[in-house]
């Protein structure tokens, strides 16, 4: 029997650990057998826990009680978020968002003054920025220069590798996928921002009722501008009453 757990077991272990190492929260995980493999070859979730490679090795030397304790109190669940760093070893210079390839644009996708996807090249390294808001325009998924932070409560599954991440709200549906493994950094998914439905697929993308594919945008300040006319200001805790503010007469 191979030691790689079945897909459903691995997902259950990620879910109960808040999609990261139960000890430190690192989103790159392995699956530790608390009841050791040499004792009984099993994939029993109640006797396994998601851990990062470092803690996987460490907990192999500790008592079972410590492993069961961290399994019951995973750090990402208590904090309600996941953190990680995305990147790759390729020299990408463009971003593919669904059916659109964007290069040399300050903002790849802008929603009423808010950059949803943007990037910069710093010392030939691709630095990605992402802002996916919730209904009140607080960040649900945010990436700043490849540093990712996301709320975990609303996701059914989050799979994370160093150069790839996938968020799912429910089985089979991809909310957001980011991939650094190809010639371009690639983003696909399906989500809403305000009343705007955004479906990003390589062969056929759709924003509300507008469909497009095989588009290449280059050399402009904003690649795609969507959302209502005017400008939306994101909420922040410097406000007396933190909330989203819509300025209808602001010119983009």
Instruction: Please state the domain count of the chain.
Output: 2
**Claim to verify: residue 176 and residue 54 sit in the same structural domain:** no
**Claim to verify: residue 57 and residue 92 sit in the same structural domain:** no
DSSP 206: E
pLDDT bracket for residue 147 (50, 70, 90) = very high
149 touches 158 (CB < 8 A): no
pLDDT bracket for residue 88 (50, 70, 90) = confident
Residue 252, pLDDT > 80, answer: no
Reduce the DSSP state of residue 63 to 3 states and report it.
coil
C-alpha dist (Å) from residue 112 to 88, 119, 135, 181 = 31, 18, 15, 30
Residue 186 domain-assigned (yes or no): yes
Residue 185 domain-assigned (yes or no): yes
Per-residue HEC secondary structure of 132-173 comes to EECCCCCEEEEEECCEEEEECCCCCEEEEECCEEEEECCCCC
User: Domain residues for 59?
Assistant: 7-79
Residue 1, pLDDT > 70, answer: no
Residue 2 domain-assigned (yes or no): no
Domain end residue (candidates: 79, 100, 128): 79
Residue 82, pLDDT > 80, answer: yes
Residue 90 domain-assigned (yes or no): yes
**Claim to verify: residue 110 and residue 202 sit in the same structural domain:** yes
**Claim to verify: residue 64 and residue 139 sit in the same structural domain:** no
C-alpha dist (Å) from residue 158 to 85, 121, 130, 199 = 14, 27, 16, 19
pTM summary value: 0.93
Give strand pairing partners of 211.
206
**Claim to verify: residue 39 and residue 103 sit in the same structural domain:** no
Residue 163 domain-assigned (yes or no): yes
**Claim to verify: residue 184 and residue 97 sit in the same structural domain:** yes
Domain end residue (candidates: 61, 79, 97): 79
**Claim to verify: residue 90 and residue 167 sit in the same structural domain:** yes
Angle formed at CA 177 by CA 175 and CA 180, multiple of 5 degrees: 170
**Claim to verify: residue 130 and residue 190 sit in the same structural domain:** yes
């Amino acid at each position: 029997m191979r030691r790689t757990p079945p897909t459903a077991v691995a997902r259950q272990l990620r879910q109960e650990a808040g999609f990261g190492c139960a000890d430190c929260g690192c989103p790159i995980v392995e699956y530790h057998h608390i009841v050791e493999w040499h004792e009984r070859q099993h994939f029993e979730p109640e006797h396994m826990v998601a851990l990062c490679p470092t803690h996987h090795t460490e907990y192999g030397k500790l008592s079972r009680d410590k492993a069961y304790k961290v399994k019951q109190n995973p750090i990402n669940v208590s904090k309600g978020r996941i953190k990680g760093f995305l990147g790759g070893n390729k020299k990408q210079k463009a971003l593919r968002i669904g059916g659109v390839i964007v290069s040399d644009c300050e903002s790849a996708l802008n929603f009423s003054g808010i950059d949803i996807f943007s990037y910069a090249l710093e010392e030939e390294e691709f630095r990605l920025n992402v802002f996916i808001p919730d209904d009140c325009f607080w960040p649900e998924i945010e990436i700043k220069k490849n540093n990712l932070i996301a709320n975990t409560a609303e996701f059914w599954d989050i799979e994370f590798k160093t150069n790839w991440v996938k968020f799912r709200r429910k089985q089979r549906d991809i909310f957001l996928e980011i991939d650094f493994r190809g010639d371009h950094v690639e983003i696909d998914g399906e989500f809403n921002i305000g009343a705007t439905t955004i479906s990003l697929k390589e062969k056929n993308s759709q924003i509300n009722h507008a469909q497009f594919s095989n588009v290449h945008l280059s050399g402009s300040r904003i690649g795609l501008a969507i959302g209502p006319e005017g400008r939306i200001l994101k909420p922040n805790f410097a406000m007396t009453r933190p909330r989203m503010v819509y300025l209808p007469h602001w010119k983009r």
